């Protein structure tokens, strides 16, 4: 069944309250057009201004990170994932309450450590010289077996090192913009600029790199494996470190002296010089050509108008419009204050959800008799197993925005209200 959101239903079933905008004369469809796939010469990516983040750092945060001083962030306004000259600011979705009471997770004393506990939030944060990353996987949410996520920040001009991995990577840009680049198994090349609200996808094994443009970038990565870990990516620096230099020289056809200044550790996230403004300067083409636009690794979802519904709006991006991401289906859902994403379930996939803005409440019902209600804030992750029913209410006074990600070739759900309203009435004999 095609995805249905916030259907007009008998009010007894679905009390939708809150500010309901007047529908536009022509309501955009749930899905966008294939014109949004890939690079277009007319596309204009505005990197946006560098975020002007008002924050204060504790003296211990500017001290040598090796001292590992405890950070008491309880009274610090807008605490940041910064230690000495590592880490970077955090412009994007985040749970301040959680960050304040878990200072050692927000700004760990040594580079890149993942912290694990039983919390349902994206947790475990590693800081590096030009940014940071936090990840959620089965170590912290054992129920989340099919998907894992990473929230990553690259400071202006910062790089995520050239790398590849065994899992497929789907991404939503959360803030700022970046240049992404990849080469596929046919030797075809790809380069594009993406901005907040856009998507990218890299198939398993396809090597790629990411560089922040002048405002920096924060993005969400979702992997098709709950056991994924950022520690298990194949980094260009590590291929070099773990291959004899004589073999590298033979393989790349250069003298062995070319490798005398190899970094002695991974680079992972590191600073860079500004990317050329003209993307064509980085358009490396070989006789194999560029990746055909229909198979392109980017989708400019930011340019897709949202479909408006009674309690909010929704944008769907699935393989119907973004074919290369063949098993990733997603909906970006906005719920106005007082509204809710109706009671529903996904018949074909588990759901991995990341809260981008606001706060919400969900009850997950698992047959036969267990149910749990959870409160979420921006930066948190929720996981709803296949066919387990759930809803998400906006419990705040601003719009609630979240992204639902499925492992499916089409975004589908079944709504309780729609099912009941479409089922013949019965009467029951009382005993």
Ligand X SMILES: *[C@@H]1O[C@H](CO)[C@@H](O)[C@H](O)[C@H]1NC(C)=O
Active site amino acids:
404
Residues 155-214 that bind ligand X (CB under 6 A): 175-176, 191, 196
Residues 67-96 that bind ligand X (CB under 6 A): 91
Burial of 48 (0-12, 13-18, 19+ CB in 10 A): middle
CB nearer ligand X, residue 53 or residue 227? 53
Minimum gap (Å) between residue 249 Cβ and ligand X: 31
CB nearer ligand X, residue 18 or residue 385? 385
Residues 30-59 that bind ligand X (CB under 6 A): 39, 41, 48, 51, 53
CB nearer ligand X, residue 294 or residue 373? 294
CB nearer ligand X, residue 53 or residue 166? 53
In angstroms, the CA 136 to CA 146 distance is 12
**Of the candidates 402, 354, 401, 416, the residue with the CA atom closest to the CA atom of residue 381:** 354
User: What is the residue-wise DSSP string for 14-42?
Assistant: ----S--PPPPSSPPPSB--GGGBS--TT
- List C-alpha distances in Å: 309 to 7, 30, 39, 339: 8, 10, 30, 11
In angstroms, the CA 27 to CA 71 distance is 50
* Cβ count within 10 A of residue 209: 16
Is 157 assigned a ligand-binding role in the annotation? no
Q: How far apart are the first and last CA of the chain?
A: 38
Exactly one of 86, 95, 211, 407 binds ligand X (CB under 6 A); that residue is 407
Is 169 assigned a ligand-binding role in the annotation? yes
Minimum gap (Å) between residue 351 Cβ and ligand X: 11
Residue 302 interacts with ligand X (CB under 6 A): yes or no = no
Residue 385 interacts with ligand X (CB under 6 A): yes or no = no
Is 344 assigned a ligand-binding role in the annotation? yes
Exactly one of 27, 113, 232, 285 binds ligand X (CB under 6 A); that residue is 285
Q: Which one of 16-24, 25-33, 278-286, 422-430 is the stretch in contact with ligand X (CB under 6 A)?
A: 278-286
What is the radius of gyration, based on Cα positions, of the chain?
23
Is 165 assigned a ligand-binding role in the annotation? yes
Residue 327 interacts with ligand X (CB under 6 A): yes or no = yes
């Amino acid at each position: 069944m095609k995805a249905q959101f916030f259907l007009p239903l008998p009010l007894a079933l679905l009390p939708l309250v809150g500010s309901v905008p007047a529908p536009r004369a022509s309501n955009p469809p749930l899905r966008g057009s294939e014109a949004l796939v890939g690079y277009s010469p007319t596309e204009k990516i505005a990197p946006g201004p560098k975020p002007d983040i008002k924050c204060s750092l504790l003296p211990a945060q500017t001290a040598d990170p090796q001292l590992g001083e405890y950070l008491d962030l309880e009274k610090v306004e807008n605490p940041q994932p910064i230690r000495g000259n590592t880490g970077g600011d955090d412009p994007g979705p985040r749970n301040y309450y959680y960050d304040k009471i878990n200072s050692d997770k927000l700004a760990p004393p040594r580079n890149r450590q993942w912290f694990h506990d039983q919390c349902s939030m994206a947790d475990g944060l590693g800081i590096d010289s030009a940014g940071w990353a936090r990840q959620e996987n089965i170590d912290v949410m054992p129920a989340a077996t099919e998907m894992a996520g990473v929230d990553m920040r690259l400071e202006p001009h910062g790089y995520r090192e050239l790398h590849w991995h065994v899992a497929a990577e789907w991404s939503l840009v959360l803030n700022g913009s970046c240049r992404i680049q990849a080469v596929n198994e046919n030797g075809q090349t790809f380069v594009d600029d993406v901005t907040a609200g856009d998507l990218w996808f890299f198939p398993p094994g396809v090597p790629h790199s990411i560089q922040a443009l002048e405002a920096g970038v924060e993005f969400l990565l979702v992997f098709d494996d709950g056991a994924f870990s950022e520690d298990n990516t194949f980094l260009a620096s590590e291929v070099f470190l773990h291959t004899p230099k004589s073999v590298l020289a033979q393989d790349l056809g250069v003298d062995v002296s070319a490798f005398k200044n190899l970094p002695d550790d991974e680079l992972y996230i590191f600073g860079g010089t500004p990317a050329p403004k003209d993307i064509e300067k980085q358009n490396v083409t070989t006789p194999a050509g560029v990746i055909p636009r229909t198979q392109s690794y980017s989708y400019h979802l930011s340019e897709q108008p949202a479909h408006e519904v009674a309690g909010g709006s929704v944008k769907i991006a699935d393989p119907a419009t973004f074919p290369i991401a063949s098993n990733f289906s997603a909906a970006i859902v906005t719920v106005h204050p007082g509204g809710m994403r109706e009671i529903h379930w996904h018949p074909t996939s588990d759901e991995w959800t990341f809260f981008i803005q606001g706060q919400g409440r969900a009850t997950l019902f698992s047959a036969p008799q267990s149910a749990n209600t959870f409160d979420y804030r921006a930066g948190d992750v929720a996981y709803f197993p296949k066919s387990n029913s759930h809803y998400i209410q906006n419990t705040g006074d601003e719009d609630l925005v979240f992204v639902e990600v499925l492992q499916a070739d089409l975004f589908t759900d079944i709504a309780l209200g729609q099912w009941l309203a479409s089922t013949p009435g019965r009467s029951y004999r009382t005993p």
